[in-house]
Structures are given as C-alpha cells and as structure tokens.
Copies of this chain bind each other. A is one copy, B any other.
Amino acid sequence: MKNTAKPESATLPLQDVQIQDTFWSSYMDLVHQVVIPYQWDALNDRIPDAEPSYAIHNFRIAAGVEQGSYGGLVFQDSDLAKWLEAVAYRLATHPDPALEEIADETIQFIIQAQQKDGYINTYFTVKEPDKRWTNLHDCHELYCAGHMMEAAVAYYEATGKRAFLHAMCRFADYIDTVFGPDEGKIHGYDGHQEIELALVKLYRVTGEQRYLRLSQYFIDARGQQPNFFIEEWEQRGRTSHWVPGEFKPDPQYNQSHLPVREQSTAVGHAVRAVYMYSAMADLARLTGDQALAEACRRLWNNVTKRQMYITGGIGSTRIGEAFSLDWNLPNERVYGETCASIGLIFFAHRMLQLEQKAEYADVLERALYNNVIGSMSEDGKHYFYVNPLEVWPDACAKDPELPHVKPVRQKWFGCSCCPPNVARILASLGTYIYTVNNDTIYTHLFVGNKAKVHMNGLDVLLKQETDSPWNGNIRITVTPERAAAFRLALRVPGWCKEQPTLRINGQAHTTLQVVDGYCLIDRPWQPGDVVEWVLAMEVQFIAAHPFMRANAGKVAIQRGPFVYALEEVDHAAPLASLSINPTQLLTARRDASLPGEPIVLEGILHQEASAHALSEDEPYHVFGTTSAPTLMPLRAVPYFMWGNRNPGEMAVWIRTNHNDY
C-alpha cells in the first residue's frame, strides 16, 4: 500500500478518494488531458506568442545535457516543481504510464542537476555558483527547495518511487547543516516562505524529526531582532537582485517584522503570508504549541474577516502583491492573486486539521469555487494571475495604475507561479473533502466521490453522490467493513441559512446536533446505510460591512458556493449604469448554451436612461434632468465563468436601487 500518511494526519491519502462528480470530474479530465500537457509545453517553451518559461531549459543546462545560459526569473525551478506535484496527484488516482515516464525523465534531470552536497537550484548552479545563500531575501533558494520537496513527497506517495524523495532528503539534510541556531550556521530564513510547510510534509513521509525541527527553526527565527534581511542586505553591500540602486528590505513584506507568535494582522506579500500561516498551523497541530495556534487564529480572523474579497481573493494591492489595511478591498484595482487564494486554501485546510470549525471550510470553498477555478479559462490554457471583481477593459489598457488587471486570461507569464499552482490544487482536490479525527469522519466539501477511510482499525467506504454545487442534494452511502459506531460530521455551509434536511435510510431527523458548523451524527452504522443531506440553495443578495467602503450601496449575488458576476456581453456598458432591486426574486435556470450547463440567474436591472442619451460633452448635469431609468434583463453567471465569451466589462458588486433593509 502506498499510503504512508502517519496517524497524526487527519486528511485522507489522495489515492483513497476517487472523484466522480458532475461538476468536478470534468475539471479532473481537463487537468489530465489539457492542463498538464499544456503546461508541459509551456515549461518547454513551446507555446507560441507566450512568455517563455525556461524551466526545463535551465534544468537541462544544470544537468549538463544542454549548453546555454539561464533564462527567466530566479525562481523558475518552482514552476516545474509544482507541475511535477500536479502530475504526482494525477498519477495517485489515475495511473498513466506515459505521463509517469515523462515525469521520471524530468526527475532524472533534477537529480542530475543536484550538486554533490545535495544543493539543487538551477539559477545559482548555472549563473552564480559563488553566490549561493547570499541573498535569501530576493532569490528564493529555499522557496524553490520547498516546492521540490512537496513534489518529491507527492511523487513518492503516488508512485512509491523513492529516488526524487531521496534526493530531496539529501537537499534537506544539507540545508539543515547550513541553517539553524548553532554557531557557524546562517541564522536566517527564506525571503519567500514555502520550505516551512514542505519540511512538515517531508517529516510526515519520512518520520525524520530533524525536518520538523528545521521547519520550526525557520518559523521561530522569522521576525527576531535584529532583522536578518536588513543585516543580510548590509552584508552584501546593499544590493538588490531585482532593481538597481539601494533598496532596503521592508520586513513587513515577508512577514519578518515581528516574531510570528506576535503577529495579529496580515501584512505584506499575500502568498508569502498564507504559505507561512499554513506551516504555522501544521506546527501548532504537530507540536501542540498553543501560542502558535493562537497566532494562527488571530491571523485567520484578520485575513478572512477584514481583508478577504467575497470571491476568496486576498491581497488587495498590486504594490508588493500585498495586504493593505483592514476593510480596504477596492474592486477595480484588486490584486487577488491566484496563488494567494490557493495558499488561503492550504491555510484553511490546515486549520481544519487543527480544529474542526466549518468557517475554515467555508473559506476554503469560497476561494476554490470562485477565485481559484475562475483563474483558469474553460479551455484550460489561459490563466489569470490577478483576479479582479470589476473590469473596465479600456482602463486596464490605459490607466497606469491598472497594468496588472487583465480583462482576458493569458497564455503564460514571465512570472508564472499561478498556472501550475492551479494544476496542483485541482489535481489534489480529493484531499480537501474529508478529514478524520479520532472516531469522526468530517465531510467538508460536497463533491461526488468514493473514499476509503481507515479509522481506529476500521475501514469505512464512503460513497458521496451529489448534484452540488448547482443544487444542494447530497447522498452518502456509508459502508463500514462491519457494523460499528462512529461519528459522521456533515458541514452546514455558511451560505445555507435554513436548517438542512437530514434523512438516514429514508427517515427524517429534525433535531440536528450542530457544533461549530458541523452536524454530528453518532450512531451504530450498518454497511450500506444511506445519509441524505439536503441544503437549501437560495439566491442571496449579499451586502458588505459598511466599513468596507468600496462596496457601499452595492450587493453581490451568491447561490450556494458560487458568487455571480455580470458581464457586458449579457448587458451593456458601462455596467456601472446598471442597478438592481435586491428585494426581487431571481430565477435560477440551467443554461444549456454555456459549457457545463451552469445555473444562471435571471431578473431585472435598471439602466440609467441617460447612459447614451446624454451628450458626451456634458460630463456633469443637474440631477433629475434626464429621463427615467429603463429596465433591462439581468443575467448573472457564476464568477468563475466570466471572461470566457466576448471580452468586456465585468462586475461582481452591483449598485442597489432599493434601500429598504
């Protein structure tokens, strides 16, 4: 058996969850048939008119099988690592010898590129071999190492092959000789957090305590005074890898402004932050460190209750791809990087393993069903790095403050961290559905699947069938290997405002025991017991807290896990001239004209009659001097689908024309 998960892990091994779902199976197929091959082409610089990756090129040079010079940014290795991780997740559930052969060959190059001491990094190997570990702030060596470790763990778990894992253990062993509190070691840590969570995974599959301790060291050292990055910057002569001139590191940028246990507000680069918080939650769980757990809770609350877009996007400013301040969530100049929402999912997933509260799963679901899958086009070959909630294409093209906001998805990026991140999270969807704690099976996501749970010496088969996410009917067949008492915990999603209907073997249960957002079902289970769990999935108009100034007087539309959006192709520009009466009932209708027959929402909008009737030579006019608004049909599509038809304006938040509360 390939499952090497240790007992403290509360997730199910990926190969024990087979997804069979009306919504997600097509994503799984797309990842296999399109995304992984397309990204392989991208990593090999074979996409016409796209920015080259150089990732394979760099490894071939470092491995000595190709001549040439290093190409791309300093962290291109990580794109290949994430792609390999995605491949591993695919192979875990769907063996594919041809794909595995490509992966094996690629891993061979990586191992060939490994230096005698264990070091792997094509930039420093090829381009600046004497500069290793001299600019941790800018150069992502440990970040790339972390991604390679994640890939190696996934590949080992998927295939049982140990070569890649062994190489990465050698690298980790070497890193352990370089970094740490001991004299003679570098008392530092990476400019981009990632290795911390990767070392926890390496510890999980190897049981090697040193890896856990090294992760702890990196987490504990960060933010201690004097600041490592300032000292490092002084030592290397105040230079920067990225820009000419002196550019003093800002400790907030990579969350080294305070010891992590003293942090309460999410600051700085959003991806760095959530990758770090994920490792903190891992360590809090594995070590029982309550101060660390408390910091995780504070940071979770700040991120998700003060600084998160309704789509699950985080990082509101392009400057530093960063958090800015509480309640500051401008829509048109949002950043909302895809990787940041993926990191938020990692954080949520780990908080769920630390403590079982449905709010973590709510956020996980929100980010996954909106920001993350919305970042990829229907064809699997185009991606958003920035995920806006409001788009005016002319402004994206001409306003120098909006160069990051693209009205259409792109083929690839010079900095292409997001596309392979999407590939790996989609390919590993199965791990996010359940967790198991003691004698409880938690169901977090409603996704059709067959899963095998091993719990206290008991094997339980679960078969989840559902018409979710379009509707809220879930049917779980529970088949323990023998009759046995245990607890099944079903999430009551935050969007479900009515009490769900629960039937067991056809019999309704009206008194539900709901704790922390989970309905707890304790009973002696017989093989083949059927649980029906019906969630009301009403269309909801959502208002933002008034402190969130950008959304004052506006509503968003939500149904189940999906946030909806208006597109110009269904309406008229400017979308800002449209308003909605949120006391109307919208009609939810399957739309066969769109791929996947999504549920679109239909109703009525008001359009300012003046929009085209007014002279364009009158920028300002006296209110009340134009004609009455006209009515226009509303057709809202799920946010994740926007931008797959004619490019144009898009808006998530819509002005209300009715102010009764």
Contacts and interface: CB of A to CB of B under 8 A. Distances in A.
Interface of A: 243-245, 301, 304-306, 308, 310, 316-320, 322, 324-325, 328, 330, 332-333, 392, 394-395, 397-401, 497, 540-549, 552-553, 555-556, 574, 576-577, 579, 582-583, 606, 608-611, 614, 616-629, 655-657, 659-661
A487 B318 CA distance: 59
Contacts of A657: 659
A629 B549 CA distance: 16
29 contacts: A304-B619, A308-B619, A310-B620, A317-B399, A318-B401, A319-B400, A324-B401, A328-B398, A328-B399, A333-B333, A401-B401, A540-B622, A540-B623, A542-B620, A543-B620, A543-B622, A543-B626, A545-B616, A545-B620, A546-B614, A548-B619, A552-B574, A552-B576, A552-B608, A553-B553, A553-B576, A553-B579, A610-B661, A623-B656
A606 B552 CA distance: 13
Given A614-B546, A628-B661, A661-B608, A320 B400 contact: yes
A628 B661 CA distance: 5
A306 B619 contact: yes
Contact of A549 (B245, B392, B626): B392
Given A310-B620, A318-B401, A322-B400, 11 more contacts: A324-B399, A328-B399, A401-B401, A545-B619, A546-B576, A546-B614, A552-B576, A552-B608, A582-B624, A606-B659, A657-B659
- Identify which of A392, A574, A622 gathers the most chain B CB atoms within 10 Å of its CB: A622
Contacts of A656: 623
A552 B325 contact: no
Contacts of A610: 543, 545-546, 661
Given A325-B394, A620-B543, A628 B399 contact: no
A515 to B, nearest CB: 19
A552 B657 CA distance: 11
Contacts of A330: 332
B301 A622 contact: no
Nearest to A397: B325
A579 B497 CA distance: 29
A622 B553 contact: no
A306 B544 CA distance: 31
B661 A627 contact: yes
A543 B621 contact: yes
B245 A545 contact: no
A660 B628 contact: yes
B553 A655 contact: yes
A310 B622 CA distance: 12
Nearest to A395: B328
A545 B661 contact: no
A359 to B, nearest CB: 10
Contacts of A629: 659, 661
A497 to B, nearest CB: 7
A244 B316 CA distance: 29
Given A553-B553, A659-B606, A616 B400 contact: no
A319 B404 CA distance: 14
Contacts of A245: 243-245
Nearest to A573: B547
B546 A574 contact: yes
A623 B543 contact: yes
Given A305-B618, A628-B660, A546 B333 contact: no
A384 B399 CA distance: 23
B661 A325 contact: no
A297 to B, nearest CB: 12
Nearest to A308: B619
A549 B397 CA distance: 16
A520 B310 CA distance: 59
A251 B332 CA distance: 27
Contacts of A544: 619-620
A541 B547 CA distance: 25
Nearest to A606: B659
A324 to B, nearest CB: 5
A655 B552 CA distance: 8
Contacts of A497: 622
B398 A324 contact: yes
A319 B399 CA distance: 9
A622 B310 CA distance: 12
A574 B552 CA distance: 10
A332 B332 CA distance: 12
B317 A400 contact: yes
A624 B400 contact: no
Contacts of A627: 661
Given A245-B244, A577-B552, A610-B546, A324 B624 contact: no
- Identify which of A325, A549, A616 gathers the most chain B CB atoms within 10 Å of its CB: A549
A655 B332 CA distance: 18
Contacts of A328: 392, 394-395, 398-399
